[in-house]
Amino acid sequence: MRQTKLFNNSVAKGAIWVMAVLAILFGAILIQQQTSVAAEIVVYKSPTCGCCNSWIKHLQQNGFTIEAHNSSDMQQVKNDMGIPRKLSSCHTAKVGDYVIEGHVPADVIARLLKEKPKFKGLAVPGMPMGSPGMEGPRKDPYKVIAFDEKGNMGVYAER
């Protein structure tokens, strides 16, 4: 009788341990699913632009799936997507209902998709040194600008 009781206690402790490990693993999987980027970004770029390709690699390294299209008329792409001229950069992208212009960092895009604010998109005007795709000998400070359909703009992030 004593052996049976000892065996049952060991089995019970083992089962509790296994359930605890499974609960931890399941929780980790749920957290990863909630924080992972699972979005496709459609990128329009010049066929000869090296920094555009570097930005695409940056996005891929951060979990985004990319569909890239070369365009010989990027100004028309920007016009079609409603990019204000003063926010213009070299490449233009679409993710969900948002437009992304220029070298916007992947983590800022992930934040946009998580927060789902009510504006048209994000832009990093120009081509600031040190932004994703424009890595080089220095890192200049720059702003990620949010903009809406009416032309309103504001700072969404600073780097």
pLDDT in tens, 103-148: 999 999 999 999 999 999 999 999 999 999 999 999 999 999 999 9
d(CA 124, CA 133): 12
Q: Which residue has the higher pLDDT, 34 or 146?
A: 146
Asked if 95 and 113 count as a contact pair (C-beta separation under 8 A), the reply is yes
How do 92-95 and 65-70 pair as beta strands? unpaired
- Is 15 in the same domain as 67? no
- Is 62 in the same domain as 89? yes
What pLDDT is attached to residue 30?
Answer: 47
Strand partners, 44: 69, 92
pLDDT digits (tens, 9 = 90+) for 57-105: 999 999 999 999 999 999 999 999 999 999 999 999 999 999 999 999 9
- Is 124 in the same domain as 140? yes
Weakest-pLDDT range from 20-24, 50-54, 139-143: 20-24
Give residue for tokens 């309103």: 152
CATH of the domain at 119: 3.40.30.10
Number of domains into which the chain is organized: 2
- Is 56 in the same domain as 9? no
Weakest-pLDDT range from 35-39, 44-48, 91-95: 35-39
d(CA 63, CA 143): 23
Asked if 28 and 53 count as a contact pair (C-beta separation under 8 A), the reply is no
Residue 49 lies in domain: 39-158
Query: What tokens does 106 get?
Result: 């992947």
144: enclosing H helix or E strand: strand 143-147
Q: Which residue has the higher pLDDT, 52 or 13?
A: 52
- Is 130 in the same domain as 151? yes
What pLDDT is attached to residue 35?
Answer: 44
- Is 31 in the same domain as 52? no
- Is 52 in the same domain as 108? yes
- Is 102 in the same domain as 26? no
